[in-house]
Chains A and B, each alone.
Chain A
Amino acid sequence: MTALIQLSGITKVLKGQEEPRTILDGVNLDVHAGESVAIVGRSGSGKSTLLSVLGLFDRADQGSYILTGDDISRLPERKAAKLRSSHFGFVFQRFFLLKHLTAAQNVAMALVNGQGWLPRRQRKVKVMAALEEVGIAHLAKNRPSRMSGGEQQRVAIARALVREPRILLADEPTGALDTETGALVIDALQAVTARGCALILVTHDRDHAARMGRIMHLEAGVLTERTGATA
């Protein structure tokens, strides 16, 4: 089966005022549809940079990025934005909900992004379906200030899912939650793999990583796969 994502030889060097620093050093990674992958590693190991490259927030200096068979290594920003909208969903450590919008409006934000236009009624159906999927449809009209951390993160997951992405990228989604709530969030995230969506989870939490199908370890910019015994 062709991989959804194929990274090969991805290198990213940070060129600041100091000496150039290699953040990603020849990273290779294949991710298939419906697969869940955990990326673990110490702080500053390049996990978030890798996620940035995967999510087309940033571009690698070297290497190739094949997405569903197409080389997107040197994609212009306009096309990258289109792909982010059509193929990716993002969940961040902080939920980034807009406090002046209701849960439903926060989810709808991903639909009102200038990439095609959905009539209001269709938007509403999709938003409610996404909220239903993460089990908080009853909170649709609530503003973030009236929701718990777990509920807010589930709204963020619904926002990531509402466009039915093929890849869900989650950067420390449980970092701001207690253990129990974090586990519920991981449940919600893992559930999407059942419908063929690939899940790439960056986490420090070994338990959450262990629940993923594969665990990749990033150390000094080098990505290696860990077996169950070493995880």
Chain B
Amino acid sequence: MRRLSGRGRSALIIGLQGIRARKTRTLLSMVSLFLGVLAVVVVQAGASIAERALLSDMELYEGVDGTVVMDMGGTSPRLGTIVTSTVAGRSDAVAMTSMQAIIGEPGVRAVNEGGAPFDGSWGDPGPPMECDETGCRELPAAEIQPKGQAIEVRLTALTGNVRQFRPYRPQSGQWLDFSTMPSLGPRLVLNKEAAKGFAQYSVPAEMRVPGASANMTPHFVGVVDDGDQQPRAYVRLDELSHWVPEGKLVDPNMGEVRVLMVAGTPVEQVLSTKLKAVGVEPMVRTVNSKKDMADQLSLMRLVFLAMAGLVLLIGVAGILNVGLATVGERVEEFALRRAVGTPRALLAGIVLAETLITGLLTAALAIGASALALKAVIAFAGSSQPFLQGMQFPWEAGVAGVIAGLVAGVLGGFIPAIRAAGIPIATVMRA
């Protein structure tokens, strides 16, 4: 490590002696500066936490940054087969296909028809519809089934562990285990909304999926938070394919087939080529939520930082005031120091060292207070705000605090330092 020069060390030693000799003044400077530095730290920490909160929600449905997402539509009967045969068993890509599933009493309509949330926020679902490859039609009144003890969910079949791309937050139970042999009874992981429905309604464990050879008996193994407002269940595709033929795995009406993969995997090229061969044009994009969000947040952060800067300036004025008063009191000391050979630059350095140390001490206090406040917030609100769980104090806020402290130290100490350097030695002669 490079050591400080003789002048640097002298400034530091004398500066520390000065601070120790004038504890009350240092404390007053710190008090005036504290709010300003705290404002900078809080704004920076708030921005980082907000970014993380937004990002963590976005990651749930968009995927983590860098994930390559391939969406494909179309009604090719080979779509499901191509996707599953290309992606199955790979660790660098996961295919997910969604379809309608009704769990509960057979021969009845679901209480949340259309897979609506249970709080009724989707409004009246309208008359029951019947959909096939040619489109959707209103059901004749005679064919409309009565509403019964059944819940409709979007069933998402996965070829592998999708949580590497979408970090769904476990709520209870466990996530799907792809390392075991596929079970005949499909194991389901519900999202929070679906779990809410099953907690609200007692329904028989029988699952109807369009195109399935028979109704299945699902096993619920866990609940996750996937950020989705619609009831949804996740299932291993190989377990579902015991009951649903590959050609039917893609719902022709809600055709959601998506492949999530790591950047640079050959899957992207192979799959694109295969799909184009059957007339399906995939849409490929790379998730870059952080950058998109950073652009949105940067303006807001700048506005808040500007306000924090104003508060900091008030603190700087406080340091400046105390600094000028202190230099006025120390005229003889500085003149004497010059008499014993201390250069003007070092006198300025001593004053700056004092204000910089004051700024750094204040920054340390402000950072400590912010970190403690964040801990308290996590302790009180961590359970209701999942993004807070395991959150550490953002290092960017610490750096911003230290920079704010140093800048305030320099700004507040600059004029007193110039004054100190300009004190004539003759002051000691005239005394």
Contact = CB atoms under 8 A, between A and B. Distances in A.
Given A92-B429, A114-B7, A114-B343, A81 B338 contact: yes
Interface stretch (A26-34, A61-69, A93-101, A222-230): A93-101
Contacts of A88: 341
A83 B211 CA distance: 99
Given A84-B339, A84-B340, A92 B431 contact: yes
A100 B343 contact: no
A48 B7 contact: no
Nearest to B333: A98
Contacts, number: 93
A95 B342 CA distance: 18
A96 B21 contact: no
A86 B340 CA distance: 9
Contact of B337 (A57, A83, A101, A109): A109
Q: How large is the interface on B (under 10, 10 to 19, 20 to 34, 35 or more residues)?
A: 20 to 34
Q: Which of B7, B336, B340 has the most C-beta atoms of chain A within 10 angstroms of its own C-beta?
A: B340
A32 B313 CA distance: 57
Contact of B428 (A96, A113, A114): A96
A187 to B, nearest CB: 23
Interface of A: 48, 51-52, 55, 57-58, 77-78, 81-86, 88, 90, 92-94, 96, 98, 100-101, 105, 109-110, 112-117, 159, 163, 171
Contacts of B17: 100-101, 105
A117 B5 CA distance: 8
A205 to B, nearest CB: 18
Interface in B1-55: 5-7, 9-11, 13-14, 17, 20-21
Given A77-B344, A110-B341, A115-B341, A92 B428 contact: yes
Contact of B346 (A86, A93, A114, A171): A114
A106 to B, nearest CB: 10
Given A110-B341, A113-B340, 6 more contacts: A57-B426, A84-B340, A90-B340, A98-B333, A113-B341, A159-B340
A101 B22 CA distance: 12
Contact of B430 (A48, A77, A78): A48
Nearest to A57: B425
B62 interface: no
B337 A113 contact: yes
Contacts of B9: 117
B341 A84 contact: yes
A81 B425 CA distance: 11
B332 A96 contact: yes
20 contacts: A48-B429, A57-B425, A77-B343, A81-B341, A81-B344, A84-B339, A84-B340, A85-B340, A86-B341, A88-B341, A90-B340, A96-B431, A100-B17, A100-B21, A113-B337, A113-B340, A113-B342, A113-B346, A114-B349, A116-B6
